[in-house]
Amino acid sequence: MLNDSFRYVNDQLACDGVPLCNIIAAHGTPTYVYSANRITQNAQRLQRAFSSLRATLHYSLKANNNLAIIRLLADLGLGMDAVSAGEIYRAEQAGVDPSHIVFAGVGKTRDELQYALQAGVGWFNVESHGELLLLNQLAGDLQKRPSVALRLNPDVQAKTHHHIATGHFGAKFGMSADTIAHILAHRDETPHLTIHGLHVHIGSQLGDVDETIEAVRRAQHLAEPYPDIRTLNIGGGFPVRYVESDEYPQPENFAEALAPVLKGWQVMMEPGRSIVADAGVLLISVLYIKDQAGQHFAITDGSMTELIRPALYEAVHPILPLKNAPPTQKMIIVGPVCESTDVLNRGTMLPVLETGDQLAVMGTGAYGMVMASNYNMRTRPAEILVEGEQWRVVRRRETWDDLLRQELSESTYGKI
């Protein structure tokens, strides 16, 4: 997963020319490193690809919500897609105008809806009839009139891992066409809402454009009788090539296929992975080498608590040595966590490794740090942003005290 930003320079893996071993010398491992250049290029590529559709991009904060990355993308003109009030708050802290935020999510609480209404969030993607009625009531109480897109579950089977497919009836997301048709026919029941859009998102890491087109057509069919509903949020899901052999449609392929279908529509999108995944690496160090039953294990200081994707989705992330050398043996890369699933790569060709060698887990800018945990009392890693030839810490490594803080505050007994 090498690209313009992550490549070998004088046999040292570098991020935009900065040798990653220099970052390790200053900040240790495990550490996430992101390339501001690559993030910018990826966002601009999407903006270009969808420019003929005049689509508005809302970056999906769940992929990577570091404040520095939010600021970078907001400066490029992207809005944000939030799935909790916490994400809205975070985006606000990064300086994002709430009117540029879409609020999605299948289980928004009353408090979250209230918070978002008061903040002046731009759009609400509503996922159930109950949520719609609650939002209407709260909007009335607060004398607001938010814009609403109804999320359709189009019942199409996206070509992707079953854990990240969302547009079929086995999934909890969205509403059936019948429910949406009913809501649209009774818009007078929700006088405090302006329902003037539909939303579809059929999954992440989509292997094909066809199902997206089908989902869009199903949404358009529902909106046909209502000329004031001509906004369609097509979600995210643009795939990333994690390994060389991956064959996926490019954003341009999606744009080309969607352009004739979406003519005359106001288009919104919520890409996450395609903007940040290949702009990040997780740097780790080898602790021990262990040979067992003919298998070679490298036990590293990186684990499923920094990157859970291999354990959770059997995701494959290439692992490269920071110092370039010919790959000569098949290694299983694991972490120190007390779980058999704590594997970062189930078998990858690497040079002969020894204690202290440094490795990069590639393509970990999306759904890496945001899914990190403190299991086994592990502190979450530092995050570094490389900007041109400079780098800075955009989140410091956690300390043991950070992990104890919430428990050490005074507690009082509740009353019966």
Smallest distance, ligand LLP to C-beta of residue 63, A: 5
**CA 82: distance to chain centroid?**
11
d(CA 57, CA 268): 6
| Cβ distance to ligand LLP smaller for residue 19 or 271 | 271
| Cβ distance to ligand LLP smaller for residue 98 or 239 | 239
φ/ψ region of 60 (left if φ > 0, alpha if ψ in -120 to 50, else beta) reads: beta
Smallest distance, ligand LLP to C-beta of residue 126, A: 12
d(CA 151, CA 199): 4
Smallest distance, ligand LLP to C-beta of residue 271, A: 4
Question: Residue 26 CB: number of other CB atoms within 10 A?
Answer: 12
Supply 11's token pair. 């046999």
The residues binding ligand LLP (CB under 6 A) are 60, 63, 81, 104, 164, 166, 201, 204-205, 235-238, 270-274, 309, 313, 367
Known catalytic residue at 15? no
Q: Which of 236, 198, 265 is nearest to 55 (CA)?
A: 265
Smallest distance, ligand LLP to C-beta of residue 118, A: 23
Which positions ≥6 away from 173 have C-beta within 8 Å? 106, 127, 151, 153, 166, 167, 201
Smallest distance, ligand LLP to C-beta of residue 354, A: 31
| Cβ distance to ligand LLP smaller for residue 132 or 286 | 132
Smallest distance, ligand LLP to C-beta of residue 233, A: 8
Smallest distance, ligand LLP to C-beta of residue 277, A: 8
Q: Exactly one of 143, 245, 291, 338 is catalytic; which is it? A: 338
Supply 53's token pair. 């559709």
Residue nearest to ligand LLP (CB): 236
| Cβ distance to ligand LLP smaller for residue 60 or 84 | 60
Q: Which of 17, 6, 7, 27 is nearest to 384 (CA)?
A: 27
Which residues carry out catalysis? 338
